[in-house]
Structure 1
Amino acid sequence: MPIPIQEVSKLRGLIFKITRVAKKQQHDLPFSATEMNIIGHLDRNTELLPSAIAELEHISAQAISQCLNNLAKANFINRITDQNDKRKTLITLSAYGKTKLSEIKSLRDGWLKKAIDERLEAQEIDLLSQLIPLLEKITAPETKPVLP
């Protein structure tokens, strides 16, 4: 049985609301939303070229340069010359950036855990835990069939 569009809309809205409230549980960092997104991309990808980050964020080379400069001034990123192509510079999170990101994640996870523990009954927490694999399945990258 397909899910009604009204339920899909409600689910999307609630996921967005959880994300928005969780993002407020962060340190007082002087970064824009785009800069925080860049930190997230670097956390998931280890190292990226500035052009790849610009493409992921759908912003210009000039805008990505400004964002990377702000992150570098705050010691959040490293710029490393690509050993295969000396003309290219790879961007990685610095040790300090990784530490601060870990603190942010811990704060956000702590907020969500507290909200779950305080507002849900044990049976509801079990049900929520059972939803995690389903949400992972929904958000997994689509795989294209391999043609023979």
Structure 2
Amino acid sequence: RRMPGDGPVERLLRRAFAELPEPEPAPGLLTHGDWHLGQLVRRDRWLLIDVDDLGVGDPAWDLARPACWYAAGLLDPAVWDRFLGAYLAFGGPALGDGADPWRRLDLPARAVTIQLAAVAVVNAGRDGRELDEVEQSLIEACNRIVRA
């Protein structure tokens, strides 16, 4: 709603958002609420930080941002594979048995991709600049979402 104008990029993002399916019901588990790879820090041991949005929800949404980065080509496949493997090996609850992680990650990753792309468009418009390479990658991922 905050995106200015009705150009081709804005129309693409609105279409991608409109075509998102409704989420399937999922068990309410402890979720971070604003999780990304920067929320893990190492200080003698791994620590989860910035827990002010902690609550109950679908944990697949906590994995949406790194899944989005991977799907948009912004996260190295080896890093994604290592992260996903470690998450599954330690019994992370978001992906069930992990046989097909995208069954649970697809919708959250798509939604976050669209959100990040829309925020990029708003910020670029506000700053009077063109989209940078990362932001353009998000737009291209939204184009793939619509084509899929």
TM range (shorter): 0.3 to 0.5
Q: Which has the higher contact order (CA 8 A, sep 6+)?
A: 2
The structure with more radius of gyration: 1
As a proportion of its length, which structure holds more helix? Answer: 1
TM-score normalized by structure 2?
0.33
